[in-house]
């Protein structure tokens, strides 16, 4: 029972919650951008358009699924799946909360806590690149090919910077396990964003680039590459790419919440004067923090123009990676000298 049923139930709940969250993320994005642009956004389907994601899903499922005539049929079909799966299995190690008692049974609010949790996230995320590269290759079309070359170069470059910031967090926390990192913040008494502000900034910028979000969204720059790597996709396969992108956004914000914003901890866990906030369950804090992060993602998109490809690479290699290395070295020196 405890070995199989509860983990299976957890997986089921997390997967479904993620997919629903992703579809509503799309609605949230449309709404927030609409408000930023003094519009209303979707209003027709349901009150204030809250049923819009369902209508979108139905529409995408019923659409004709086109495979271009000279596409590589197998790879073309596999690419969206390859993009979607890593985005979903990352949730296995994300701690949404500490423990909860449900029907007299104590349940941990994460699917599993493995020793190499952070490394697992990084490695699984690195497999997600394949979806984009293969989509561009298999479409047998020039715009997707250009976009997939851009995307893979971008993802691989920014992965370096992001991973280096993660290493400095690991140095501070002394563990690769996501749960242990949160516990380290609990015992330290403050969130790691105050310990590692530079790492947080680099992680945020790198996260924007890793998820192909504005201002680094040139792999899918509609104005330049007519939609990027998924130009030739339609119907449900396009929807999978779309969902994967938003699922990745949620992953990035969850990881940022866990590593830098104290996961399920309340603000300032070290200050006992704020302990009245403990009534609020941990998972609520987690969701609120992730939501704030996601909101910033959307806000940035509504505000900023797009970088150019070479400028993006310059920022990645000449600014973020050196900064991340300096941050790592300084963290190491402080850790060895002072602590």
Binding interface with another protein (CB under 8 A): 33, 36-39, 72, 74-75, 78, 114-116, 119-120, 122-124, 126-127, 129-130, 133-134, 137, 142-143, 145-146, 149-150, 152, 156, 159, 176, 214-215, 217-218, 221-226, 301-311
Write down the least CB distance from residue 39 to another protein, Å. 7
Q: Quote the CA–CA distance of 187 and 193 in Å, as a whole number.
A: 15
Q: 243 vs 24, 34, 104, 212, 247, CA distance in Å?
A: 11, 20, 36, 13, 6
Q: 213 vs 52, 163, 217, 307, CA distance in Å?
A: 22, 18, 5, 11
Q: Quote the CA–CA distance of 248 and 239 in Å, as a whole number.
A: 14
Write down the least CB distance from residue 302 to another protein, Å. 5
Output 15 or 302, the one with its CB closest to another protein: 302
Output 28 or 124, the one with its CB closest to another protein: 124
Write down the least CB distance from residue 124 to another protein, Å. 7
Output 11 or 114, the one with its CB closest to another protein: 114
Output 38 or 272, the one with its CB closest to another protein: 38
Name the burial class of residue 15, with classes exposed (0-12), middle (13-18) and buried (19+) by CB atoms within 10 angstroms of its CB.
Answer: middle
Output 108 or 112, the one with its CB closest to another protein: 112
Q: Quote the CA–CA distance of 224 and 202 in Å, as a whole number.
A: 27
Write down the least CB distance from residue 279 to another protein, Å. 36
Write down the least CB distance from residue 21 to another protein, Å. 24
DSSP labels, 39-103: -----SSSGGGTTHHHHHHHHHHHS-----TTS-HHHHHHHHHHHHHHHHHGGGG----SEEEET
Name the burial class of residue 186, with classes exposed (0-12), middle (13-18) and buried (19+) by CB atoms within 10 angstroms of its CB.
Answer: middle
Output 137 or 203, the one with its CB closest to another protein: 137
Write down the least CB distance from residue 157 to another protein, Å. 12
């Amino acid at each position: 029972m405890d070995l199989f049923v509860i983990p299976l139930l957890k997986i089921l709940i997390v997967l479904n919650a993620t997919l629903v969250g992703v579809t509503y993320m799309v609605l949230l994005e449309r709404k927030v951008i609409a408000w930023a642009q003094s519009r209303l956004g979707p209003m027709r389907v349901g009150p204030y358009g809250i049923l819009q994601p369902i209508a979108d899903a139905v529409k995408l499922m019923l659409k004709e699924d086109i495979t271009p005539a000279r596409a590589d049929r197998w790879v073309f079909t596999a690419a969206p799946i390859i993009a979607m799966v890593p985005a979903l299995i990352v949730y296995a190690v994300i701690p949404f909360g500490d423990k909860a008692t449900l029907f007299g049974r104590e349940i941990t609010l994460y699917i599993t806590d493995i020793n190499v949790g952070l490394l697992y996230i990084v490695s699984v995320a690195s497999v997600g690149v394949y979806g984009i590269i293969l989509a561009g290759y298999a479409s047998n079309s020039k715009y997707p090919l250009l976009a997939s070359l851009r995307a893979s170069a971008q993802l691989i470059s920014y992965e370096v910077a992001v991973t280096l910031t993660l290493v400095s967090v690991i140095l501070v926390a002394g563990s690769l396990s996501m749960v242990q990192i949160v516990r380290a913040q609990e015992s330290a008494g403050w969130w790691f964003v105050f310990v590692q502000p530079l790492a947080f900034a680099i992680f945020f910028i790198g996260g924007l680039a890793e998820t192909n979000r504005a201002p680094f969204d040139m792999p899918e720059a509609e104005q330049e590459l007519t939609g990027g790597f998924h130009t030739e996709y339609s119907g449900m396969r396009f929807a999978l790419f779309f969902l994967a992108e938003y699922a990745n956004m949620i992953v990035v914000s969850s990881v940022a919440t866990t590593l830098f914003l104290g996961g399920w901890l309340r603000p300032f866990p070290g200050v006992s004067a704020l302990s009245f906030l403990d009534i609020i369950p941990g998972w609520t804090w987690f969701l609120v923090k992730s939501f704030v992060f996601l909101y910033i993602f959307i806000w940035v998109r509504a505000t900023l123009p797009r970088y150019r490809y070479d400028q993006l690479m310059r920022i990645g290699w000449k600014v973020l990676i050196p900064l991340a290395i300096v941050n790592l070295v300084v963290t190491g020196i402080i850790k060895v000298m002072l602590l």
